[in-house]
Amino acid sequence: MNDDFDKQVRSQVYDLTMREGTPPLSSRIAGAQSAVLASFRRLADAHMLVLQSEGGEILMAGPYSAVPTPFRVRANGVAAYGNCIWDALGIPAMLRSDAEIDTSCADCGTSASIRIVDGALISQGLMHFAIPARHWWKDIVFT
């Protein structure tokens, strides 16, 4: 295990992600690409990242998604995607920023807009978590 290297990789991943709104490709992280990809794997094994099934690039650097999702977040002048509503709410919390979240009802498809102002949720509606949080890592991509 390369604890110091993994900490540096994780720091670079989150620095870029928080500034740009999406997790970076391995080629943007300092170090030999094979070493960075190996670090990604170790970080994924520790539940700090989720990797794409092919190629070993980042799929999720919680709360951020590397691919478009139904949870679009605008905060700090950056557009990002949350992996779920919980993660979408986590992005402005992580950035300590106001935000707008655009999503829709998973049941009926009705669009929903959520605002975060000074750390407070400004919206009406209901959030439903179909799976208890303790079970999320059993299949984190489809939770």
- Give residue-wise pLDDT tens across range 15-58: 999 999 999 999 999 888 899 999 999 999 999 999 999 989 99
Q: Is 67 within a domain? A: no
CATH classification of the domain holding 53? 1.10.10
Whether 79 and 131 share a structural domain: yes
- Number of structural domains the chain divides into: 2
Question: Is pLDDT at 132 greater than 90 in this prediction?
Answer: no
CATH classification of the domain holding 137? 3.15.10.60
Nearest to 113 by CA among 99, 124, 102: 102
pLDDT at 90: 95
pLDDT at 139: 66
pLDDT band at 13 (very low <50, low <70, confident <90, very high): very high
Last residue of a domain, one of 61, 80, 104: 61
Q: pLDDT above 90 covers what percent of the chain?
A: 69
Task: Please give the C-alpha separations between residue 78 and each of 3, 20, 69, 99, 109, in angstroms, as whole numbers.
Answer: 31, 6, 16, 10, 25
Question: Is pLDDT at 61 greater than 90 in this prediction?
Answer: yes
Whether 55 and 112 share a structural domain: no
pLDDT at 136: 73
Whether 115 and 85 share a structural domain: yes
Whether 136 and 92 share a structural domain: yes
pLDDT at 141: 66
Q: Is 66 within a domain? A: no
Q: Is 136 within a domain? A: yes
Q: Is 132 within a domain? A: yes
105 against 43, higher pLDDT:
43
Helix H or strand E encompassing 114: strand 111-117
Domain around 29: 3-61
- How far, in Å, CA of 132 to CA of 26, rounded? 32
